[in-house]
Amino acid sequence: MHKEKLLMTPGPTMVPPSVLETLGRQIIHHRTKEFRNIFKDLNDSLKYIFQTQNHILTFSSSGTGAMESVIANLFSAGDKVVVASIGVFGDRFAKIAEAFGLNVDLISVEWGKAVDPQLIKQKLDDDKQNEIKAVIVTHNETSTGVTNDIKAVGRIVSKTNKLFIIDAISSIGGIDIQADNWGIDVIVGSSQKALMTPPGLAFVSVSPKAWEAHKNSKLPKFYWNYSAYRKGLEQNMPDAPYTPAVTLMIAQNQAINLIKEEGLQNIFERHKRLAFATQAGAEALGLKLFPDKAVSSYIITAIKAPEGIDTEEVRKIMNQKYDIMVTGGQQHLKGKIIRIGHCGYVDRFSLIKVFTAMEYALKESGYPVELGAGVSAVEKALY
């Protein structure tokens, strides 16, 4: 018997039953009091999750679309931005900026490391002509399982006139990130990671400083134009400029109800404990983390392939034989790492399942495993 796949990937993540229930309901129209009430709730709740007083704009799009919206709305061709990339998604933000004709000063960090805030400080100190308009950093890089210290970078950037822009697509609602306290002008998030809703929605929080930059932006935009979304939000009851993804928004609102019930701080703590348990389980199996432990993500753990083992094979066995999906490495890391997502609707039992399947799969791939060693370590860590 094959069961429903357990997704322990960086996203999409499992959707809680009460959220699935909303998805199966008949559609309602977006220009109704009923929907606008939900939209209002959603907007207020997103502020709680992004830890901000700023407007948060909701787009019907993937996270990548919202990243594009940031570039199109806040800049003009030729503008200089510093992008600190620690993996695939940092590189993507740089590519988007380049596609729009920005002058990208790329800090390319070795995969598996976090960005050193001092590198960013140096760039800003060297900017005697005040040419740099923004600093763009990934909060959590799923491709390497590393989380950047955004608070530390914020201490540096918020002292300047630069915009501080964060891709928190994979981390928002899972790892602490405080838009207002840390001086973050723009945070990009999406529905299908810690926010426990299917993909198709993306969110952008926009600070007053970012709204000023928006006024001066000359890049072409219409669907992404922040002004239209702001106008919708500033009505008595919020409205969307173009037919929104009604169903996903209702589902997202329900998922955030669950988040509010558990409490954001408790959720951050849960993800941290799940991460530490994953690290302990891996260690008990003699496996090494891919990143430095100090910067290893709380929502996804990247583990190095043991000598002579192809993680693609391990991953395939886990998926095909045991119905548990984890992820492998991207680009040059293919076959070299295995990435276990523990993000969103995940508890100790999810992790116990993962380690059970991973122990079997490692054993079947020829790696010597004392069955139960990883599982016991996880169980102990989560007691």
> Are 114 and 149 contacting, i.e. CB atoms less than 8 angstroms apart?
yes
Nearest distance in Å: CB 30, its own copies: 7
Residue 183 near residue 154 (C-beta atoms within 8 A): yes
Of the listed pieces 66-74, 80-88, 363-371, 372-380, which binds its own copies according to CB under 8 A?
66-74
- CA atoms of 92 and 83, how far apart (whole Å): 10
Q: How far apart are the first and last CA of the chain?
A: 31
Euclidean distance between CA atoms 195 and 177, whole angstroms = 14
Query: Contact with its own copies (CB under 8 A): which of 154, 238, 244, 306?
Result: 244
Alpha-carbon radius of gyration of the chain: 21
Q: Are 344 and 13 in contact (CB under 8 A)?
A: yes
Dist. CA 277–CA 377, nearest whole Å:
7
- For its own copies, the closer CB: 95 or 123: 95
Q: Does 248 sit near its own copies (CB under 8 A)?
A: yes
Kindly state whether residue 276 participates in binding its own copies, applying the rule CB under 8 A.
no
Instruction: Kindly state whether residue 217 participates in binding its own copies, applying the rule CB under 8 A.
Output: no
**150-158, 173-181, 219-227, 258-266 -> range binding its own copies (CB under 8 A):** 219-227
Site string for its own copies, 69-98 (x = CB under 8 A): ---x----x-----------------xx--
Q: Which one among 223, 348, 364, 373 touches its own copies, defined by CB under 8 A? A: 223
Only one of the segments 2-10, 104-112, 113-121, 261-269 lies at the binding site for its own copies (rule: CB under 8 A); that segment is 2-10
In terms of CB distance, is 214 or 221 closer to its own copies?
221
Show contacts with its own copies in window 18-37 (CB under 8 A): 20-21, 23-30, 32
The per-type count for the chain, helices as H runs and strands as E runs, is 13, 14
For the chain, percent helix, then strand, then coil, each to nearest 5?
Answer: 45, 15, 40
- If we measure between CA atoms, which residue out of 202, 188, 156 comes closest to residue 70? 188
- 325, 348, 364, 373: which one contacts its own copies (CB under 8 A)? 325
Distances (CA, A) of 241 to 31, 57, 60, 284, 359: 11, 11, 11, 53, 50
- Residue of the chain from 184, 195, 246, 282 that contacts its own copies (CB under 8 A): 246
- 1 is a contact residue toward its own copies (CB under 8 A): no
- The 139-158 site mask, x for binding its own copies (CB under 8 A), equals --------------------
Cβ proximity to its own copies, 31 vs 380, nearer residue: 31
Which residues have C-beta within 8 Å of that of residue 361, sequence separation ≥ 6? 313, 314, 315, 317, 318, 321, 322
Q: What Cα–Cα distance (Å) separates residue 245 from each residue in 175, 197, 347?
A: 26, 12, 29
- Binding-site size for its own copies (CB under 8 A) equals 57
Q: Which residues bind its own copies (CB under 8 A)?
A: 4-5, 7, 9, 11-15, 20-21, 23-30, 32, 59-65, 67-68, 72, 77, 95-96, 99-101, 190, 192, 198-200, 219-225, 241-248, 325
